[in-house]
Amino acid sequence: MTSYIKIPSHLTPSDPQGSELLARERSKATFDVNELTLALYGSEELSRFKKILKILESDPILDKSNIYYMGRTELFKYALRKDKRIIQLAATHKWNVDEFKIASRLVDMSGPYSIHQSMFLPTILGQGTEEQKRKFLNPAIRHEIIGCYAQTELGHGSNVQGLETTSTYIPETDEFEIHTPHLTAAKWWAGGLGRTANHSVVMARLITNGQDKGPHPFIVQIRDLTTHEPLPGITIGDIGPKFGFNTTDNGFMLFDHVRIPRFNMLSKFSKVTKGTGEYKNPPNEKLSYGTMVFVRSVIIFNAGLALARAATISVRYSAVRRQFVDKENPMILPNGQVVETAVLDYTMQQYRLFPVIAQAYAIYFTGEIITNLYKQYIDQSSRGDFSLLADLHASTSGLKSLTSDIAVDSIEDCRRSCGGHGYSNFSGFTRFYQDYLPNTTWEGDNYILTQQTARYIIHSKQQSEEFSLRSNESPTIFYMLRYLSNPSQKCTVISPSDFKNPEVQLAIYGYRAAYLIARAVDQIDNHKKSWNSMLVEINRISRAHCQYILVHNFILTLQPQTSDSMNEKRRILHNSPSLKTVLTSVCNLFALHTMEKNLSEFLESGYLSPKQSEMLRVQISESLNEIRPNAVALVDAFYLPDYLLNSALGRYDGKVYETMIEWASKEPLNGITLDINPYSEKLFRNDVKAKI
Ligand SMILES: CCCCCCCCCCCCCCCCCCCCC/C=C/C(=O)SCCNC(=O)CCNC(=O)[C@H](O)C(C)(C)COP(=O)(O)OP(=O)(O)OC[C@H]1O[C@@H](n2cnc3c(N)ncnc32)[C@H](O)[C@@H]1OP(=O)(O)O
Ligand SMILES: Cc1cc2nc3c(=O)[nH]c(=O)nc-3n(C[C@H](O)[C@H](O)[C@H](O)COP(=O)(O)OP(=O)(O)OC[C@H]3O[C@@H](n4cnc5c(N)ncnc54)[C@H](O)[C@@H]3O)c2cc1C
């Protein structure tokens, strides 16, 4: 890339250098970073990760050095090129789906093919018959056809039952007719639809024999495979500039009585019979919503990665950035020189950043557990057993909502913790934050999804017989019986360090969730409160329940397990006392900091007393001290390479200032000739001049 300004090469940052500061931090760690990385990824995934990183880093098409200076159209073209390149590399190196996912994660830019991979393929895989998979899935995997997922409409997104696009069965020709009856039925937002896709999953109301069977998925070819023009009767466009996600062409689409073969209704679960138009019910009504459950589970895992990334940038930068001399405890170099204090040493900075490290680990572990639960569901459902679906839907909905909310808030907190440089694109936060933001809205708005979780829990509580039955089976609500059976219990903490006891933590979280649930049920059942009037409480219930799950899963991950049930990752963790010690501090911080942030609910239930809440704060401060020497090592363990971070502030080598000035010198604005004379005639084009 061209440098437009020559920077004097003899200048270096004042001592100590960033690399020296980070090296010092790393030397303080009480555990082996490589060991923790292995415990997070496992040896197989880590070696694949390293192999793929090497390929991507050295590929000129996937070079990221220019992207901070690009406008939307240029960025979109870059994203298209990089999407094509990943597909070519996947073919050359024979990557499997997991390797493809690693590459996409490292290249880190949504693109025109992203929704093809994340929603179009999974929908056909999950909802298509074997014949449909042969026809659509195989060419789609080879990217011979490119698809999108068009569910949301201009007038409806959250309310899937309210979708207006129709798909009417025509027995005479054995076809469906897809139609947009109103402007509000225009498909809107579908990623990849605007300029790229030639096929789409279209969620439309199935009408057969005059009966409306509600939204179902259909495969519709939308563009000509040779000319790439929209097919007759279909109007398509890009929806225009957005808050972020501008490397993807989100589109709109209108249908004017477009015919597709009956074969194109994805029919793994429900069918329409040739000629008679008879409708065969699915085994579970909500199976056509299956792609959303899958993507929500991925969003939970991704929230952990997003937090890890935000924490890595801000913790490393805070170790390099120095401001003021802390007179009571000055930073002294080996040569005796007193220097300004690293901002990471200020307790306020620690209080802002270390909980983000803890959130990343907590959500990462729950993400793994949910991914496994999803796999278990897929396995069982392939044998016709859908019993896990209700619980999976409830937990993925609430956790998707909670974890993406946490991530959005913490990414912004981390950005702000980097001061002014956090506002520069070179921080690595700008597009990362903008592109992460829609996770709180897509795949179900976060407030709406909490209603799904709370309703499942409330129903379970209302039907107490079924509740005790379900609570034995359900991995997510078993705690409630224990606390509901004895509502006058009190928290046993008598000194701050008692808060470190996992049993105590679980009891506090369990009691608070059970209390909120019981109170809401009382309001609904005995005071006849409407659902709408209870929405704020309902949101609280889902959050309380999901926070319990996060804490429970973290504790579970650290508990000794039988060696049979342990995979390689857990074995590494359990065989290393130093890893367990540091992660126990991280787990405590997560549980206690989250408690403090929601303190009013814990106090209100009467389980925790004001005196105990004071002790809680003392213990949080203690946990921050425990984590301090390991802060940089804990983020290093996430193993997020510079190629992914693309951040001047979060570089592994700490060369923050050298990179800032080098990247600034490449700003194209520095290279253009400007006429700054306010009276210059050249400012106006002739047509504009004529109007003056
Ligand atoms: C080399 C190989 C190359 C190949 C490469 C492959 C690479 C693969 C890579 C894959 C990687 C994946 C990565 C993913 C990354 C993530 C990026 C994602 C990008 C996403 C872009 C955005 C897309 C979208 O947003 S699509 C649109 C999403 N829309 C929504 O989510 C709408 C939200 N609304 C709803 O879901 C519903 O309307 C709802 C749930 C709010 C209400 O539904 P309802 O029908 O009105 O139902 P209700 O009356 O409330 O409930 C009735 C009953 O049904 C239960 N229920 C509801 N939903 C479900 C469900 N989904 N599943 C199961 N059960 C459900 C509900 O609980 C009720 O039950 P009962 O109470 O028992 O009656
Ligand atoms: C970047 C991006 C990419 C997307 N990609 C796709 C895609 O590829 N395919 C696709 O089909 N869709 C896509 N979407 C659409 C997305 O799924 C919807 O925007 C999302 O489901 C929210 O629906 P909505 O826009 O209708 O919000 P609305 O439901 O209109 O929400 C507006 C407000 O009303 C509140 N609200 C609504 N109903 C209730 C209620 N019952 N109780 C309480 N509060 C309520 C919500 O909380 C929210 O605050 C994408 C969206 C974005 C931003």
Model pLDDT, residue 562:
65
Cα 413 from chain centroid (whole Å): 16
Distance CA 334, CA 350 (A): 24
Which ligand does the CA of 447 lie closest to?
Answer: 2
Verify whether ligand 1 is closer than 6 Å to residue 188 (CB atom).
Answer: no
- Asked whether 639 and 47 are in contact (CB, 8 A), the reply is no
Task: Give CA torsion, residues 134, 139, 140, 144, to 10 deg.
Answer: -170
- Pocket probe mutation, ligand 2, options 148, 152, 246, max atoms within 8 Å of Cβ: 152
Q: Return the residue whose CA atom lies nearest to atom 33 of ligand 2.
A: 445
* pTM (2 d.p.): 0.96
Q: Return the residue whose CA atom lies nearest to atom 46 of ligand 1.
A: 161
Which ligand does the CA of 96 lie closest to?
Answer: 1
Q: Return the residue whose CA atom lies nearest to atom 41 of ligand 2.
A: 448
Per the CATH hierarchy, to which homologous superfamily does domain 292-636 belong? Butyryl-CoA Dehydrogenase, subunit A, domain 3 (1.20.140.10)
**ipTM rounded to 2 decimals:** 0.97
- Domains in the chain: boundaries: 120-282, 292-636
Q: Return the residue whose CA atom lies nearest to atom 42 of ligand 2.
A: 448
Which ligand does the CA of 394 lie closest to?
Answer: 1
Distance CA 337, CA 375 (A): 57
Q: Return the residue whose CA atom lies nearest to atom 25 of ligand 2.
A: 157
- Asked whether 436 and 502 are in contact (CB, 8 A), the reply is no
Model pLDDT, residue 687:
63
120-282 CATH, one of 2.40.110.10, 3.30.750.24, 2.30.30.60, 2.130.10.30: 2.40.110.10
Model pLDDT, residue 210:
98
pLDDT digits (tens, 9 = 90+) for 564-623: 566 899 999 999 999 999 999 999 999 999 999 999 999 998 999 999 999 999 999 999
Burial call 439-458: b when 16+ CB within 10 Å, e when fewer: bbebbbebbbbbbbbbbbbb
Please indicate whether the domains covering 120-282 and 292-636 agree at the CATH topology level.
no
Q: How many angstroms is it from 558 CA to the middle of ligand 1? A: 31
Model pLDDT, residue 563:
61
Verify whether ligand 2 is closer than 6 Å to residue 473 (CB atom).
Answer: no
Distance CA 672, CA 676 (A): 12
Verify whether ligand 1 is closer than 6 Å to residue 295 (CB atom).
Answer: yes
Q: How many angstroms is it from 438 CA to the middle of ligand 2? A: 9
Atom of ligand 2 nearest to the CA of 532: 42
Model pLDDT, residue 624:
98
Q: Is 596 designated active site? A: no
Atom of ligand 2 nearest to the CA of 242: 1
- Asked whether 289 and 362 are in contact (CB, 8 A), the reply is no
Cis peptide before 16 (omega within 30 of 0): yes
Q: Which of 443, 622, 626, 658 is catalytic?
A: 443
Bridge partner list, 238: 251
- Pocket probe mutation, ligand 2, options 110, 161, 203, 442, max atoms within 8 Å of Cβ: 442
Model pLDDT, residue 150:
98
Which ligand does the CA of 151 lie closest to?
Answer: 2
Ranges of the chain with pLDDT below 50: none
Q: How many angstroms is it from 447 CA to the middle of ligand 2? A: 10
Q: How many angstroms is it from 187 CA to the middle of ligand 2? A: 13
- Pocket probe mutation, ligand 2, options 158, 408, 535, max atoms within 8 Å of Cβ: 158
- Asked whether 22 and 653 are in contact (CB, 8 A), the reply is yes
